[in-house]
Chain A
């Protein structure tokens, strides 16, 4: 779905923990704090997936959470961007051989932007949001 021009002016973010170790959670919250202050660009954390434009998914997706991750993804209205934060969401990371994983995340829901790191630094997360904006602009420019 083609986004409207006003869409990418203020991205609202929903954070979804799919069984992460908390490292990425803490760095996401640290990103939203006064030192980096992404709210000046209109980026803020919202409480419901139904209000969100972007979902930040952390963690390797445990079997218990797989269905909930899918259901949360479906509740986010289109157009939407999925950002995978952290190495374990990309590949499983140190948990690669666990019996309890349904992921990596892109096995469960489609991912647009990957932010690597265990956990990624706040600067890397902001860089990921910039990439997401660039992707939205490309979608907007498409005929």
Chain B
């Protein structure tokens, strides 16, 4: 059902790729029956920039800066997952202090990303005052990220073997100040989002994703946790400093005592993850050891080690949107032989289809936004041959995949 337009019921409503409700290009085709969505199809791929292909022609230190730019909201998650994969291949041990700084930055990023999402969700509900409120408080987190890293977005904090900038003693009071500001705001945010009658009416029992469906579609992160699946890479597979800390995956029943897997539950999970991140940063500040922040500060030496590295590894990180996975294989050459990125939204996008079926047309924006989609992370493939369009089926993709594996084994 691509672009087939009919004037009788069911009729087709195309949305995108350029549309005011979408910040990023993606093409939706809704099959409507009156106000009700009968079926939905979507075509991503508009932001495909061929990042993996470019990466396989650059050395790992150059790739770190490329990974920053896979997604502009999460400037750290991809570089951390990639660095962790390469560190495992090259058997590089990251200093403990660097692990703590990575954790602090990762959690600051989660705070700003969840506040950003809260604003977008409020905007999609038509509650623009709340958009302005959330984004105003988000600016304080951006200021702190800028103070630590030197940039608001794409902070380039990660280097293979550690981090590029230290957290100085003068910065610590500023971090604590921000944490106490957010602690004071928390109750207000929960009050506005969860006890507002119109938000509850719009979000309760809409866009439901059952636990079974969530498992079948392999969704990750807050979307999975809101459907009652206890999964969090920080707990299941600890890395950086997370192994030393007390963390529990956040499920919506913590607040309401029940799990419905609807849009409201996804709001609860994200809002509760902000105080969790504050708590993690506080634990990190208390336990942060002294020492080096990088395994080898001289780039030439680092590159020489990486050039000799052989093997394959997987690096994972719990991004604000869910698990990010980078697979790297290095064969003793300057650039990796294979680099595969699986962003969190890639796992989550398919959940749109069961969520949107049977919903009203006016609920489409909030349901689409409720999984916090990030398409620039996701678009790994685009087929552009001349001006014609073609669709690859699962069988075609499987055949290509088998061929590629054979090529690599040769």
A residues in contact (CB < 8 Å) with B:
16-27, 29-30, 33-35, 46-48, 59-60, 62-65, 68, 72, 88, 93-95, 97-101, 118-119, 121
Contact = CB atoms under 8 A, between A and B. Distances in A.
A81 to B, nearest CB: 18
B66, B75, B152, B153 interface centre (most CB from chain A within 10 Å): B153
A98 B47 contact: no
Given A27-B153, A62-B46, A65-B46, A94 B135 contact: no
A64 B48 contact: yes
Contacts of A95: 49-51, 54, 69
B382 A63 contact: yes
Contacts of B70: 21
Given A19-B25, A23-B72, A26-B116, A60 B49 contact: yes
Given A21-B376, A68-B18, A99-B50, A27 B152 contact: yes
Interface string B21-37: 00111000000000000
Contacts of B57: 97
B53 interface: yes
Contact of B20 (A22, A48, A101): A48
Nearest to B132: A34
Interface string B4-31: 0000000000000110100111000000
B24 A22 contact: yes
A100 B20 contact: no
Complex A-B, nearest 7 residue pairs according to Cβ-Cβ distance, in ascending order: A23-B72, A47-B20, A22-B72, A100-B50, A98-B50, A33-B135, A21-B72
B1 interface: no
A86 B72 CA distance: 12
13 contacts: A21-B49, A22-B71, A27-B152, A33-B132, A34-B132, A34-B136, A88-B69, A94-B65, A95-B50, A98-B51, A98-B54, A99-B50, A119-B153
B71 A30 contact: no
B135 to A, nearest CB: 4
B154 interface: yes
B23 A121 contact: no
Interface in B88-138: 116, 132, 135-136, 138
Contact of B69 (A34, A62, A94): A94
A48 B19 CA distance: 8
B288 interface: no
Contacts of B66: 94
Given A34-B135, A94-B65, 14 more contacts: A19-B49, A20-B72, A21-B70, A22-B73, A23-B75, A23-B153, A30-B139, A34-B136, A35-B139, A48-B20, A59-B47, A68-B25, A88-B69, A97-B54
Nearest to A67: B387
Nearest to B131: A33
B240 interface: no
B45 interface: yes
B394 to A, nearest CB: 21
A48, A63, A65 interface centre (most CB from chain B within 10 Å): A65
Contacts of B17: 65, 68
B374 interface: yes
B142 interface: yes
B132 A19 contact: no
A23 B69 contact: yes
A73 B193 CA distance: 38
B384 interface: yes
B8 to A, nearest CB: 28
A62 B49 contact: yes
A30 B119 CA distance: 11
Interface string B46-85: 1111110110010000000110011111010000000000
Nearest to A95: B49
Nearest to B21: A47
B154 A121 contact: no
Contacts of B69: 21, 23, 88, 93-95, 118
Contacts of B154: 23, 118-119
Contacts of A35: 136, 139
A30 to B, nearest CB: 7
Contact of A30 (B46, B50, B135): B135
B13 to A, nearest CB: 16
Nearest to A63: B384
Nearest to A88: B69
A38 B48 CA distance: 32
Contacts of B138: 30
